[in-house]
Structure 1
Amino acid sequence: MKILTIFTPTYNRAYCLEVCYKSLVNQTCKDFSWLIIDDGSTDKTKELVESWQYEDLIEIVYHWQENKGMHGAHNTAYEMIQTELNVCIDSDDYMPEKAVENIVNFWRLNGNKNVSGIIGLDSYSNGKVIGTKLPTNIKSSTLFDLYNKYRVTGDKKLVYRTELTKMYQYPVFINEKYVGLNYKYYMLDKNFELLLMNEVLCCVEYLPDGSSLNMLQQYRRNPKGFAFYRKELMNLPFATTSFKFRQAIHFVSSNMLMKNNFLKDSPNKWITILASPLGVLLYCFILLKTRGKIMFN
């Protein structure tokens, strides 16, 4: 069995998915399987993937499902993956040719059951690292500490042990299609650290239809998912008061979007009360910026 599964959630991305495919074909190490979770595409994604399967240059597993959103596609991927490690490469991203080789070699030298996996770097297509590199004075850290203690910035690439990613399934809310992916990662932070690897594992393209560039619309469409996410982050045992305060602001606004009593459901009422004025302002800002742009089913 191969050691790594690269999984790619995709939705109507036939126009850009080939870049990812070619980068995987060009990998110097083929010790991986490519799992494509087609989250309800209505374009030519299926036919395109079938043509690649016919070429038989890399191992490709294709799964189509009704549209469930990014976190729903992740849930399906984690249910299907059987390899020791997994990494998500989005449909508009690609991997440098030595990325798989670097992951496999690094894990064989350093991997163990006491860590959750590896964290590496993302870069732009020009090779410039997104945000900062990882600290060199430590070998491992939780994801939370990297951003909140060591002040790392920018997107990073996470390679997790599959047996751990099968835990903490993302909840699915009716008529909603978004829950913050970091929910699972912060849950794993409670018991495990990630090994630090200062190598670029993924080259990122931020396309206009990507979820990261449409966050306010996501916020408006998915208040239950956002409220759940912020509530869980407010409950983190290692989170600082300032971190919980920021989550409370978003918790208030999400609950207002779904006309819910935010104090009743808050895990920390005093912080929520203090954050409520800013939460109200955020709520108003979201309504203003998404006015006329949101169509609900």
Structure 2
Amino acid sequence: MIELTIFTPTYNRAYILPKLFDSLLAQSNKNFEWLIVDDGSSDNTKEIIQNFQSKANFKITSIYQQNQGKHVAINTALQNINTSYFVTVDSDDYLKNNAISIIYEKLATIKDSKTIIGLASPIEMINNEGNTIFSNKILKSEIISSQIEMAYKYNVIAEFSLILKTSVAKQYPYPIFPGEKFIVESVISNRMNNNFKLLHITSSIIIGEYRIDGLTAQIKKILANNPKGASLAYYEKMNNSNIPFTNRKSFAKNYWDYESLNNKNFLLKLKKINSNRLKIYILFYFINRIIKKTLS
């Protein structure tokens, strides 16, 4: 019985998809299916996928939707995934040769847990020359924790591949704002953190390539073009009491900047900050900014 879906959202990435496909072909364990959600590509993605389907010795399903953004593609995928677990593998990433075997080996250790909803594997990042930017060496042993705990308790700041229980992920669809095509994925993982944990493993199962046409390289511009989603992400982080206050101060300033692009009412913006201490900080922050501007 197939228990794992490899899900790939893609948009005009026909030129790079074959590398991911080849990494799936190379897996010794073929107990998976591949779901591709094409987010309105205008290149030859459709033909490339059809070619994959003619060659693959595993199931490939392709869904086309009008261009709406990766988060909507994830929502679409979750409406169509029927396996117990899934992992998102971006179109510019690819799997290590033993990835599927590692996933099943580690899932067996948590299958009976009601609070551990999946695995987190550190992504091994490489640059355009193939040199490693980040590897799994920062994680010395397996840790059961939320991603917030990993960042602020264990001081592990890394990008992880998440292998999640589909039934749980379906309960957390991404919010959609008309006219916006992006929201950071941490919005959902942070919401899950309130109730669930992940087994963070030391093995990297995915290699990610940093590309100048990728989301990471353009994140500031993307957030500015999608201010409602950006504001929501920082709003939830600044009001999360599990995050240290020092970090929440930074999130509050980011929230204010993006919220201000759609909401000019000072009091309404201030009201969304739950902590009185954080409200006082923001007030003093703006007073100091006004004073500095006046004196300059």
**TM-score normalized with structure 1 length:** 0.87
* Structure 1 position 279, deviation (Å): 8.3
Task: Evaluate the alpha carbon distance shift between residue 3 and residue 189 of structure 1 in structure 2; reply closer, same or farther with a 3 A threshold.
Answer: same
CA distance in 2, matches of 1:5, 1:281: 52
- Matches of residues 18-167 of structure 1 in structure 2 within 5 Å? 18-112=18-112, 113-125=114-126, 126=130, 128=132, 130=134, 133=137, 135-136=139-140, 139-167=143-171
* Structure 1 position 278, deviation (Å): 6.4
1:217 aligns with 2:221: yes
- Confirm or deny: 8 A CA contact 2:125 2:210 kept in the other structure: no
CA distance in 2, matches of 1:181, 1:5: 19
CA distance in 2, matches of 1:154, 1:63: 30
Aligned to 2:293: none
* Structure 1 position 221, deviation (Å): 0.4
Aligned to 1:252: 256
* Structure 1 position 64, deviation (Å): 0.5
Structure 2: runs of 5+ lacking an equivalent: 290-296
* Structure 1 position 18, deviation (Å): 0.8
- Confirm or deny: 8 A CA contact 1:38 1:64 kept in the other structure: yes
* Structure 1 position 197, deviation (Å): 1.2
Aligned to 1:287: none
Q: Percent identity?
A: 31
Q: What's the secondary structure of 1:62's corresponding residue?
A: strand
Amino acid paired to 2:93:
D
* 1:58-99 deviation digits (Å, cap 9, x = unpaired): 211100001111111111111211111111110000000100
Tell me the matched-pair count.
Answer: 282
Structure 1: runs of 5+ lacking an equivalent: 283-297
* Structure 1 position 236, deviation (Å): 2.5
- Confirm or deny: 8 A CA contact 1:121 1:133 kept in the other structure: no
Amino acid paired to 1:54:
S
**TM-score normalized with structure 2 length:** 0.88
- Confirm or deny: 8 A CA contact 1:132 1:153 kept in the other structure: no
CA distance in 1, matches of 2:194, 2:107: 21
Task: Evaluate the alpha carbon distance shift between residue 244 and residue 27 of structure 1 in structure 2; reply closer, same or farther with a 3 A threshold.
Answer: same
* 1:8-52 deviation digits (Å, cap 9, x = unpaired): 110000011111111011111111111101011111001110111
CA distance in 2, matches of 1:4, 1:156: 18
Q: What's the secondary structure of 2:253's corresponding residue?
A: helix
Aligned to 2:240: 236
Amino acid paired to 1:42:
S
1:271 aligns with 2:278: yes
* Structure 1 position 53, deviation (Å): 0.8
Q: What's the secondary structure of 2:8's corresponding residue?
A: strand
The equivalent position to 1:168 in structure 2, one of 156, 172, 185, is: 172
CA distance in 2, matches of 1:23, 1:220: 35
